[in-house]
A and B are shown apart, each in its own frame.
Chain A
Amino acid sequence: MDKTKRNFLKGAAAAVLGPTSVGPAGWASAGERPRGSDSNRWAMVVDLRKCIGCQACTVACGMENAVPLGKFRTIVSNYEVELQDQVRSVVLPRLCNHCENPPCVPVCPVGATYQRNDGIVVVDNERCVGCGYCVQACPYDARFINPETQAADKCTFCVHRVEAGLLPACVETCVGGARIFGDLKDPDSTVSRLVAELPTKGLRPEMKTRPQVYYVGLDERFQSKVEGEPTLWRKEAIHGEFAQ
């Protein structure tokens, strides 16, 4: 066990800690972990006009990352909504937003969740104690506890692929080409161009997380909650919340 975790655990034993009162204990000593390059800022544009709700991303992510069955790092929420006299289909691919201001990071009592220099928010599963504070802190329901690694788990932008010069699994297999991944610090990248040229929105702006998943064609009425009927039936999704 590393020093940070030990220090935190001491503290935890000494005080009652609510999720919001937990600070980034021992953050500075995390130097040995992969941090990426600060010359990149990885981000995703999701062009909702191009999403067909096929869930290729969902399955590919699970296969690529060996995510336990029934847990999702990404999924496409699918609703039907009534607008004036029309009924319309809404698709909303969801994943970790790799926020500029990630609320999951400061609540981690052991510094297991951290943001790399290239913007990717990751979880160090060796350090994570599975307390679930981050799961609760994420306004996007993007995290869960992985029963195999027994750590908080979430989208890594497939950092192991990105570092091999490849694309995240969900992007590679996106049938409609809705998911576009790239480097916002490269002004010539597709994501930079799209963010500059097209109106984009992030989910839950009221949380001031500065999400780095930019949606094209996101109806502002649905930025924080979709008032509609989930169409891809799952018992858990029946009430139309963002819950996975």
Chain B
Amino acid sequence: MSASRRNFIKGATAVGALGAFGYGYSHTANEMLKGLLGERQSADRISGNAPKPEFAVDPVTGHLTPNPEQTVAYTLCMGCTTICGVRVRVDNARNKVLRVTGNPYHVLSSDPFLPYETSVSDSFQALSRYQERGLVARSTACGRGNAVLEKLDAAQRVRVPLKRVGKRGSGQWAPISFEQLVEEVVAGGDLFGEGRVEGLQAIRDLETPIDPEQPEFGPKANQLAVMPAFKDGRLRFAARFAKQSFGTVNFAGHRSYCGLSMRAGYAALLGEWKKMPHLKPDFSNSEFLLFIGTAPASAGNPFKRQGQLLAKARSDGKLKYVVVDPVLTNSDNLSSGERSRWIPIKPGTDGALVMAMIRWILENDRYDAGFLSRPSAAAAAVAGEAGWSNASHLVIVQENHPERGKFLRAADVVAGNAEEIMVIDPASGQALPQGAVQEAVLFYEGSIKVPGGTEIAVKSSLALLRDEARGHTLQEYAEACGISVDTIIELADEFTSHGKRAAVDCHGGTMASNGFYNAYAIVMLNALVGNLNVKGGTGAGGGKFKEIAPGPRYNLKKFAGAVKPKGVGLGRNAPYEKSTEYKRKLAKGENPYPAKAPWYSLSPTMTSEFLPSALNEYPYPLKALILWSSNPLYGVAGLREQIKEKLADPKALPLIVSIDPFINESNAYADYIVPDSVLYESWGWASAWGAHLTKVSTARWPVVEPAQTKNAEGRPIDMETFFIAVAKRMGLPGFGDNAITDKDGKQYPLQSAEDFYLRAAANVAFDGRPVPDASDEDIALSGVTRIASTLQQTLKPDEWRKVAYVYARGGRFENGDRSYEGELLRHRYDKPMQIYDEHLATARHSLTGEYFVGTPTWVPPALADGSPLAAAFPPTEWPFQAVSTKSQLQSSHTIDAQSLRAIHPSNTIGLHRSDAERLGVRSGEAVRVTTPGGSVEAIAQVRSGIKRGVLGIEHGFGHRQLGASVQRIGKQVLPADGGAGNGVSINDLGFADPKRSGYCVLTDWVVGSVARQGLPAKIEKL
């Protein structure tokens, strides 16, 4: 320390100058002493420790000067399920990611995004001040996307293969070699001194049935379940192993505890239950948008793109919008004035609001009759409509008719084109096949004569919807949802005042116990204004390029010996009526209903049921579980508290393997952990989830060297390395030599992740019109140099430079000028909108045996048998309802990003001012929230922006792992990270459905989506 500094301190102290800081700035006195006494760490006198910029662009000439010490590479973000294209800035010498922002070629990160033919050099210039290009081509990451790079170096990261020592869940691990792990997992044996454990080799039996008496459960191989997270670009590789190679049916992601109610609502509307497509508004051209149970700009998927488009549309565009949600979020924006409006609603009552709107719209002739009355695609095309519906289609409503609930088809009435559906021709009043009528009668109720002289009672789809809407008065609906009749009419009026330039959307806010019908009702509004495939209306997305699917260069989907898994999965996603259980009961003369537990035949494979089903041994137990980057114990409301002890018992589920770079609430119970790559270290091919009007294929590729250890062959240990090693050890098809076939039938090995994903990249590059070859400059500037030799070694000579072109841009993207075709979207959904869904209406509830209503209807929050939730948990005892709200910062796995916690360290229990006053609670005080499933203690936050009687709990906090608890690897301690356990998780408040038995959670009574909205609750001050 210099003499002068010392003198200053002396002097200052002597004259009492430090006392001058008594203005609430006491910290500065402390800092000042440090500043004067300590060692300074600063690289630059003005810019401190900011690293040098990644490149420079001359603001006058636009000339680009790269910084050779850094690389900017375009790859994929994994901060949430939106998976945006990002640019990652790397310090080359330290293999360290310095910062992450958006990829300017990528539709999820930029609006507008750069034309694909733009050179990498020009893409950098486009981000600069030169001609203010960076303000136009601005490409962003959200707060979370900026922060998650911290996960790469997190102290809690698992970098070596682990085997548990001591009891399952005890947090004690031993590091083992990758080869030992693979051998033990495959061969089994007395692995833990607790008795013999069956290995994967023994479990993979495609012949022996699990239960010969109940053959529908399929072979023993189904007793391995593999639970990935979501379509993160690597899912198809895991599916190749689990389904096609190992042969289990029990492979699925997180949909059933994420947004299944919304997906099912759209599936009914769009008549596609298998793929479950969904619509998103064309934000940029809409005049009025209604968001119910979704909060664009605060959450949703794609979070960032919706936020960006909403911000633009409400300021530069014509958009007005309303967000209906129990909790106020940043979807609303005061500065946008009357353009934006929040309407609070009671949880789980969206259906009441919307059925009231539908009633008003139908009774006041405010629907788009021009759209709805076209009974076929051809008739719609003649009328210039971009989509069509089944509003006029006739449904058999005759009780006890064998075809009740089905559409009246031509074959039912006359011989001829059997599949055509009958409609009423307005000119003749006769029923005619849909192809014979241009504009059909919308509301019809009557009888149709059929061969043999009898008559069948029929109604048109729209008449059936009107019947359901008329099930309650507007006043009754208003009381149910807590929104006045005037406001309901105002919304319905506004929604139907913009032609097709109005749209509605929903998402996770519908995850209540009655979520499916609420969601179907909400999305039905889109059909009533006929907005499908229209500018300013809705679209089903722009799609992607062929990567895994049989592509122009390689077939990565099919291989010799591929298994087609058979049998009923643990989610029981099959008709109960086909089960042995049903047939046995029937044979005994018993009422076959209820099933022992609900069967959700409408839904895709549901992982939320996997663990309860396996532990209940209904339909059958599991022998092994592989968790890959998934965390059902944190994500499924009510699951962890119920099963945590049982799951810790190896007898109940003998082998649990996890592939994950972190220890979370679920894989804390694993027997083995395989480390995995993190974020920008992985390979993969992803796409956008929605709200993209053009084709998107995002390249995920390692722009830094993975930090986990390598196996004996020198490959980084990750999901792909593990599955390849297991498959080869077991001699399974689809991996190893000759596993991949090209378009000419020539065979190639699958020995590494690169073997798979680089060939997928070749498919992308050659799909349609092949992309150009990458220039040397593209390769050098984009960091593709890192992988150039791998590209050359793996691919054919005419492929590698095209693949390099794709990686240099972070994927392949259709240009933005391909979004529209006049007033229509260019990528259009071609099936009809289902006012009435035949598939739904002909399915029965597995507990009651009743048929489901085929149109949207209002059903209050319910238990598994459809009975009212409020009857079992009366409001007199449970006066509050807890809801999960989405965070603009946290997703389920980002609590270890410290930058996010620095901004917002904990969630709270949000409650309304009037409720707080009654309870004598002030913001910052401790409260206890109790539901039928448990209780949590948390900080109260008194709010005006929440519906009375609602407790709002932001998701992403309340972790028990991911740094909240200490884990020990040999002698090494993965430390608890102060703050990772902050706050509470609403999923600790979920509970077992009293109408079910065994381990179970509250779900939607139709499709089984896990209920996290509207949990009955009480709150007390501590």
Which residues of A are interface residues toward B (Cβ below 8 A)?
1, 5-6, 8-10, 12-19, 33-34, 47-56, 58-60, 62-66, 69-70, 72, 75, 78, 80-83, 86-91, 122-132, 135-136, 145-151, 153, 156, 158-162, 164-167, 169, 171-178, 180-182, 189-190, 216-219, 229, 231-235, 238
* CB–CB A6/B945 < 8 A: no
Measured CA separation A218–B336 after assembly (Å): 10
- Complex CA gap A63/B97 in Å reads 10
Question: Closest residue of chain A to B145, judged by CB?
Answer: A56
Residues of A within 8 A of B297 (CB): 52-54, 176
| Across-interface contacts of B134 in A (CB, < 8 A) | 166-167, 171-172
Taking a contact as CB atoms under 8 Å apart, the answer to whether B140 and A56 are in contact is: yes
**Contact (Cβ within 8 A) A229 B36:** no
- A82 to B914 CA separation, bound complex (whole angstroms): 14
Find B4's partner among A5, A52, A122, A190 (CB 8 Å cutoff).
A5
Write the chain B residue with the least CB distance to A127: B45
- Report B27-41 residues with CB < 8 Å from chain A CB: 27-29, 31-32, 34-36, 38, 40-41
Residues of B within 8 A of A63 (CB): 98-100, 146-147, 149, 899
Q: Does B941 contact A (CB under 8 A)?
A: yes
Grouping DSSP codes into helix (H, G, I), strand (E, B) and loop, the B interface class, with mixed when no group exceeds half, is: mixed
From A12, A62, A135, B28 is in contact (CB under 8 Å) with: A135
**In the assembly, what is the distance between CA of A63 and CA of B531, in Å?**
43
Inter-chain contact count A-B, CB under 8 Å?
A: 339
Chain A residues whose C-beta falls within 8 Å of the C-beta of B923 in the assembled complex: 229, 238
Partner of A87, one of B2, B55, B328: B328
Q: Is the CB of A55 within 8 A of B888?
A: yes
* B12 surroundings in chain A (CB, below 8 A): 12-13
B135 with A166: CB separation less than 8 A: no
Q: Which of B271-323 contact A (CB under 8 A)?
A: 297-298, 304, 307-308, 310-312, 314-315
CB pair A52 B311 closer than 8 Å = yes
Residues of chain A within 8 A (CB-CB) of B311 are 49-52, 175-178
7 contacts between A and B (CB under 8 A): A52-B297, A55-B900, A63-B147, A130-B34, A149-B49, A165-B56, A217-B335
The yes or no answer to B46 lying at the interface (CB within 8 A) is: yes
Given contacts A13-B7, A129-B35, contact A34 B46 (CB under 8 A): yes
* Contact, CB under 8 Å: B330 / A91: yes
Q: Are A132 and B48 interface neighbours, CB within 8 A? A: no
Smallest Cβ-Cβ distance to A136: which chain B residue = B25
Nearest CB to that of B143 among chain A residues?
A55
Q: How far is the CA of A132 from the CA of B23 in the complex (A)?
A: 11
Pair B333/A54 contact, Cβ less than 8 Å: no
- B31 contacts A150, C-beta separation under 8 Å: yes
Give the most central of B34, B55, B311: most A CB within 10 Å: B311
Q: In whole angstroms, how far apart are the Cα atoms of A48 and B127 in the complex?
A: 22
Asked if B906 is an interface residue, CB under 8 A from chain A, the answer is yes
Residues of B within 8 A of A58 (CB): 143, 903
Cα(A232)–Cα(B15), bound, Å: 42
Interface string of B127-149 (1 = CB under 8 A from A): 11110101100111111111101
Which residues on B sit within 8 Å (CB–CB) of A65? Answer: 47-50
B99 close to A80 (CB less than 8 A): no
A231 proximity list for chain B (CB < 8 A): 328, 941, 943, 945
Q: Is B44 an interface residue (CB 8 A)?
A: yes
Residues of B within 8 A of A (CB): 2, 4-5, 7-8, 10-12, 14-17, 20-21, 23, 25, 27-29, 31-32, 34-36, 38, 40-42, 44-53, 55-59, 98-102, 127-130, 132, 134-135, 138-147, 149, 297-298, 304, 307-308, 310-312, 314-315, 328-336, 339, 342, 888-889, 898-900, 902-908, 923-924, 939, 941-945
B70: min CB distance to chain A, Å: 12
A125 to B42, Cβ gap below 8 A?
A: yes
Other-chain residue from B2, B38, B333 in contact with A48 (beta carbon distance below 8 A): B333
9 tightest A-B CB contacts, nearest first: A130-B35, A13-B11, A217-B335, A132-B28, A176-B311, A55-B143, A145-B31, A150-B35, A48-B335
In the complex, chain B residues whose CB is within 8 Å of the CB of A232: 889, 903-904
Residues of A within 8 A of B139 (CB): 172
Cβ–Cβ contact B57 & A166, under 8 A: yes
Q: Are B57 and A180 in contact (CB under 8 A)?
A: no
Complex contacts, B142 vs chain A, CB 8 Å: 54-56, 175
Kindly report which residue of chain A lies nearest to residue B19, judged by CB atoms: A16
Tell me how far the C-beta of A109 lies from the nearest C-beta in chain B, rounded to whole angstroms: 9
Which residues from chain A contact B924 at a C-beta distance below 8 Å? 235, 238
B residues near A131, Cβ cutoff 8 Å? 28, 32
Contacts of A66 in B (CB 8 A): 48-51
Q: Is the CB of B101 within 8 A of A172?
A: yes
Flag if A177 contacts B334 (CB, 8 Å).
Answer: no
**Contact: B334 with A89, CB < 8 Å?**
yes
Q: Which residues of A contact B331 (CB under 8 A)?
A: 89
Known interface pairs A17-B17, A87-B328. Does A75 touch B44 (Cβ–Cβ under 8 Å)? no
Residues of B within 8 A of A91 (CB): 330, 333, 335
Bound-complex Cα distance A190 to B134 (A): 11
Please, which residues of chain A bring their CB within 8 A of the CB of B147?
59, 63
Which of B49, B128, B904, B942 is A166 in contact with, Cβ under 8 Å?
B128
Check A16/B17 contact, CB under 8 A, given A89-B945, A160-B53.
Answer: yes
Given the interface pairs A124-B46, A136-B25, the reply to whether A55 lies near B889 with Cβ below 8 Å is yes
Chain A nearest CB from B312 CB (Å) reads 7
Chain B CB within 10 Å — which of A62, A66, A131, A218 has the most?
A: A131
A62 touches B2 (CB 8 A): no
Q: A162 CA to B889 CA in the complex, in Å?
A: 28
Asked if B944 and A87 make an inter-chain contact with CB atoms under 8 angstroms apart, the answer reads yes
Take A177-B138, A177-B308 as given contacts and tell me if A234 and B905 are in contact as well, using a CB distance cutoff of 8 Å: yes
Min CB distance, B143 to chain A, in Å? 4
Q: A145-B32, A175-B308, A229-B923 are in contact. List 18 more A-B contacts (CB 8 A).
A: A52-B888, A54-B143, A58-B903, A60-B101, A63-B100, A88-B328, A89-B945, A130-B31, A131-B32, A132-B28, A136-B21, A145-B31, A148-B49, A150-B40, A160-B53, A165-B128, A175-B311, A176-B312
In the complex, A136 Cα to B297 Cα: how many Å?
A: 35
A6 to B5, CA, bound (A): 8
When the two chains form the complex, which single residue of A75, A89, A153, A182 contacts B135, counting CB atoms closer than 8 Å?
Answer: A182
Q: Please measure, in the bound complex, the distance between the C-alpha atom of A62 and the C-alpha atom of B328, giving whole angstroms.
A: 28
Question: Known contacts A172-B138, A229-B944; is A49 also within 8 Å of B889 by CB?
Answer: no
Q: For residue B951, give the distance in angstroms from its CB to the closest CB of chain A.
A: 14
Check A189–B42 contact: CB distance below 8 A. no
Within the assembled complex, what's the spacing in Å between the Cα atoms of A174 and B136?
A: 12
Please indicate the chain B residues that have their CB under 8 angstroms from the CB of A165 in the complex.
56-59, 128-130
User: Do A88 and B904 have beta carbons less than 8 Å apart?
Assistant: no
Q: Compute how far the CA of A34 lies from the CA of B58 in the bound complex, rounded to whole angstroms.
A: 18
Task: State whether A13 touches B888 (Cβ < 8 A).
Answer: no
A90 to B944, CA, bound (A): 13
Contact B888 A88 (CB under 8 A): no
Instruction: Check A173/B102 contact, CB under 8 A, given A54-B142, A123-B46, A131-B32.
Output: yes
Taking the closest CB of chain B, its distance from the CB of A200, in whole angstroms, is 12
- Cα distance A43–B843 when bound, in Å? 63
Most buried by A among B100, B145, B335, B939: B335
Chain A residues with CB under 8 A of B310: 52, 176
CB <8 Å contact, A173 and B45? no
Instruction: For the complex formed, measure the closest distance between the CB of B97 and the CB atoms of chain A, giving whole angstroms.
Output: 9
Complexed CA–CA distance, A18 and B331 (Å): 46
Partner of A88, one of B8, B52, B315, B342: B342
Q: How far is the CA of A189 from the CA of B136 in the complex (A)?
A: 12
Question: Which A residue's beta carbon lies closest to that of B904?
Answer: A232
Is A89 a contact of B330 with CB atoms below 8 Å?
A: yes
B contact residues around A190 at 8 Å (CB): 132, 135
**Contact for B900 among A59, A72, A178, CB less than 8 A:** A59
Q: Which residues of A contact B140 (CB under 8 A)?
A: 56, 172-175
Q: Are A233 and B906 in contact (CB under 8 A)?
A: yes
Which of A70, A130, A149 is B32 in contact with, Cβ under 8 Å? A130
Residue of B nearest to A151 (CB): B35
Q: Which residues of B contact A129 (CB under 8 A)?
A: 5, 8, 32, 35-36
